């Protein structure tokens, strides 16, 4: 709707139906049987991924779209970096951004030691969203059993020291170099504060430090727009949990009245014009 409001033609495309057709003359981006002629696009989802091959194919198509001159926001390589919790948190740390103590291991005894040392930890899927599959654990034996189960399906174990925080965390929405909205995500019934898990949204006016952390985190992963999740660590300061490259914004709009789509579309149009 925001694209049409600015006098441009908009298409909704399912990534599963996009493909690069390699002919004897060239490479063309197709949707079904039609060749696509686009100036730009906003990537909102990579879709459900059942296999590594599916993921590779979809990112290959997105990369070819960029190579053909289509400006995608966010860039597929930045999306892939943000989806990889391990690599992204290392990039954030190297950029001087505060993050929780974290390890990704393939040894259940190492997980057991980490939980024993930290006292409380969160075990997460390496690739995931909305807090699904994340488990808080304080018993090293339970941590060992969870790690063994994950490793039995060849999944590395992403384990993070639990950040003691109020019954809330912070989501800041960034477009370009601008904070377009921020909210508390509050939960009184669970340690998880994802809106998708039932948390409530409340408007927040972020201070300068929070704004700087969120913008810096977005730039560290080379994203044009992002939802940055930040905790107020009771042991001191802020901690960035994650930078989401395809953030949902229903809760943000309900809490703040801000529609990030307007800012995203405007930013994309300006980038295409450059």
- Phi-psi category of residue 78: left, alpha or beta, with phi > 0 → left and psi -120 to 50 → alpha: alpha
Query: Same domain, yes or no, for 195 and 227?
Result: yes
- When computed from its CA atoms, the radius of gyration of the chain, rounded to whole angstroms, is 20
Query: Same domain, yes or no, for 155 and 169?
Result: no
pLDDT at 129: 59
Which pLDDT tens digit goes with each residue over 222-251? 999 999 999 999 988 999 999 999 999 988
Query: Quick check: helix, strand or coil at residue 33?
Result: coil
pLDDT at 132: 62
Percent of the chain with pLDDT over 70: 97
Tell me which residue range forms the domain holding 36: 2-80
Q: Name the more confident of 33 and 69.
A: 69
Tell me if 42 is assigned to some domain: yes
Beta pairing partners, 231? 239
pLDDT at 273: 86
Give yes or no for a contact between 202 and 184, defined as CB atoms under 8 angstroms apart: yes
Tell me if 93 is assigned to some domain: no
Side-chain-facing half-sphere of 264: CA atoms under 13 Å: 28
Query: Same domain, yes or no, for 176 and 266?
Result: yes
pLDDT at 130: 56
Give yes or no for a contact between 174 and 236, defined as CB atoms under 8 angstroms apart: no
pLDDT at 6: 79
Identify the CA nearest to 20 among candidates 63, 74, 79: 63
Query: What is the average per-residue pLDDT within 186-215?
Result: 86
Which CATH number goes with the domain that contains 109?
3.30.1490.20
pLDDT at 137: 96
Which CATH number goes with the domain that contains 247?
3.30.470.20
Query: Same domain, yes or no, for 154 and 172?
Result: no
Which pLDDT tens digit goes with each residue over 166-178? 889 999 999 999 9
The last residue of a domain, from among 50, 80, 110:
80
Tell me if 94 is assigned to some domain: no
Identify the CA nearest to 112 among candidates 150, 86, 149, 138: 138
- Check pLDDT > 90 for residue 206: yes
- Check pLDDT > 60 for residue 219: yes
Number of domains within the chain = 3
Q: Both tokens of residue 250?
A: 């229903």
Tell me if 87 is assigned to some domain: no
């Amino acid at each position: 709707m925001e694209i049409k409001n600015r006098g441009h033609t908009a298409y909704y495309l399912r990534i599963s139906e996009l493909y690069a057709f390699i002919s004897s003359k060239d490479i063309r981006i197709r949707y079904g049987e039609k060749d696509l002629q686009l100036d730009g696009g906003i990537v909102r989802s990579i879709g459900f991924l059942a296999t590594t091959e599916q993921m590779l194919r979809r990112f290959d198509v997105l990369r070819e779209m960029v190579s053909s001159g289509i400006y995608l926001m966010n860039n597929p390589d930045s999306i892939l970096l943000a989806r990889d919790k391990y690599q992204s948190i290392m990039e954030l740390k190297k950029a001087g951004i505060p993050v929780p103590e974290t390890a990704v291991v393939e040894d259940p005894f190492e997980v057991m030691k980490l939980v024993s040392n930290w006292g409380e930890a969160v075990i997460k899927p390496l690739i995931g969203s909305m807090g699904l599959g994340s488990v808080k654990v304080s018993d090293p034996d339970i941590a060992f059993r969870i790690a063994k189960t994950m490793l039995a399906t060849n999944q590395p174990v992403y384990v993070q020291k639990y950040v003691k925080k109020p019954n809330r965390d912070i989501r800041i929405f960034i477009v370009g170099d601008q904070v377009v909205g921020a909210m508390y995500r509050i939960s009184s019934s669970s340690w998880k504060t994802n809106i998708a898990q039932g948390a409530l949204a409340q408007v927040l006016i972020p201070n300068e430090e929070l704004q700087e952390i969120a913008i810096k985190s977005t730039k560290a992963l080379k994203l044009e727009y992002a939802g940055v999740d930040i905790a107020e660590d009771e042991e001191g300061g802020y901690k960035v949990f994650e930078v989401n490259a395809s953030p949902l914004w229903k809760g943000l709009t309900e809490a703040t009245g801000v529609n990030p789509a307007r800012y995203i579309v405007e930013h994309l149009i300006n980038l295409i014009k450059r």
